[in-house]
């Protein structure tokens, strides 16, 4: 769980995680200004990592994945936001699809069904999501229902293959890692995921949304140009190259 100022929602998120299937829970605190770390300790979470300075959303994920695959030797790694926007109840289903070799990566899609608008996604974010996803599917030659959900499950073999350390430390990290997964030849499956929007749930502001949207377009163009071998970009170098 990549955490930043998640004190109000961490407890509810953690207690909804199905204990019978999850071996380890990792919380990486990105220099929060609240008592996220103290609450994590009171919950008995064993693996708590703290950044001395704020590295950003992407930088937080890098620490999460490094610890999971290098220290814990995890077979399956699931990124769950501790803000309780995504339900932990989908963890068994997401894990099942990976462990049975159906897909090596699963995204919890808010767009499949009516989960996004029903859960309160602002209309401008919904429209931007649909427009960007349409463009990305064309440039990446894929058919995902959305690229912007923060709920993802990975087989460790995928994380050990792609070079996610080349990615941004900002919000665009999420989009870059999907692009890398496809470029490395892996498929991504989707599962319908209800989402909740409420004051305590984390959400990027309008300015950051614009920056993110421009980053999505840039990443998609990079993917397209690299794929047709017109240009080469380091983020698509795999770890064994």
- Name which of 187, 181, 189, 188 is nearest 238 in CA terms: 181
Give the residue numbers spanning the domain of 202.
2-236
209 is a domain residue: yes
35 is a domain residue: yes
Above 80 in pLDDT, residue 37? yes
Question: Using CA atoms, how far apart are residues 86 and 81, in angstroms rounded to an integer?
Answer: 7
- Phi then psi for 165, rounded to 5 degrees? -70, -15
pLDDT in tens, 146-162: 999 999 999 999 999 99
Count the domains in the chain: 1
Question: Using CA atoms, how far apart are residues 155 and 161, in angstroms rounded to an integer?
Answer: 10
Question: Using CA atoms, how far apart are residues 216 and 211, in angstroms rounded to an integer?
Answer: 9
Question: Using CA atoms, how far apart are residues 232 and 241, in angstroms rounded to an integer?
Answer: 14
Q: What is the CATH number of the domain that holds 105?
A: 3.90.550.10
Mean pLDDT of 25-32: 98
Q: Is the dihedral of CA 56, 125, 136, 207 positive or negative?
A: negative
Above 70 in pLDDT, residue 235? yes
Q: Are 137 and 220 in contact (CB under 8 A)?
A: no
Question: Using CA atoms, how far apart are residues 17 and 34, in angstroms rounded to an integer?
Answer: 23
Q: Are 78 and 1 in contact (CB under 8 A)?
A: no
Mean pLDDT of 39-64: 97
DSSP of 170-187: STTHHHHHHHHHHHTT--
pLDDT in tens, 83-118: 999 999 999 999 999 999 999 999 999 998 776 777
Say which residue, 199 or 138, is predicted with more confidence.
138
pLDDT in tens, 161-177: 999 999 999 999 999 99
Question: Using CA atoms, how far apart are residues 115 and 151, in angstroms rounded to an integer?
Answer: 13
166 is a domain residue: yes
74 is a domain residue: yes
Q: Are 146 and 107 in contact (CB under 8 A)?
A: yes
241 is a domain residue: no
Q: What is the pLDDT of residue 241?
A: 63
181 is a domain residue: yes
Q: What is the mean pLDDT of the chain?
A: 94
Q: Strand, helix or coil at 225?
A: helix
Above 70 in pLDDT, residue 78? yes
- Name which of 30, 23, 31, 106 is nearest 71 in CA terms: 23
Radius of gyration of the chain (CA): 17
Question: Using CA atoms, how far apart are residues 221 and 215, in angstroms rounded to an integer?
Answer: 10
Q: Scanning the structure block, which residue is given the tokens 């963890």? A: 91
Confidence of residue 202 (pLDDT cuts 50, 70, 90): low
- What pTM value is reported for the model? 0.93
């Amino acid at each position: 769980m990549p955490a930043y100022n998640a004190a109000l929602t961490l407890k509810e998120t953690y207690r909804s995680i199905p204990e019978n299937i999850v071996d380890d829970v990792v919380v990486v605190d990105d220099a929060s200004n609240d008592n996220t770390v103290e609450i994590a300790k009171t919950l008995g979470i064993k693996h708590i990592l703290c950044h001395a300075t704020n590295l950003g959303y992407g930088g937080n994920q890098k620490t999460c994945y490094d610890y999971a695959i290098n220290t814990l030797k995890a077979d399956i790694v699931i990124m769950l936001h501790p803000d309780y926007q995504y339900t932990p109840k989908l963890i068994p289903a997401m894990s099942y699809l990976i462990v049975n070799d159906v897909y090596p990566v699963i995204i919890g899609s808010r767009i499949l069904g009516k989960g996004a608008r029903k859960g309160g996604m602002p209309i401008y974010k919904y429209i931007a999501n649909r427009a960007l996803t349409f463009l990305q599917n064309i440039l990446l030659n894929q058919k995902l229902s959305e690229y912007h959900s923060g709920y993802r499950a990975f087989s460790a073999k995928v994380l050990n293959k792609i070079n996610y350390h080349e990615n941004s430390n900002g919000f665009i990290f999420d989009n870059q890692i999907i692009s890398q997964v496809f470029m490395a030849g892996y498929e991504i499956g989707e599962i319908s995921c209800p989402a909740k929007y409420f004051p305590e749930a984390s959400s990027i502001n309008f300015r950051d949304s614009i920056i993110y949207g421009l980053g999505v377009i840039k990443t998609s163009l990079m993917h397209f140009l690299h794929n047709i071998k017109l240009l080469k970009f380091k983020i698509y170098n795999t770890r064994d190259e």
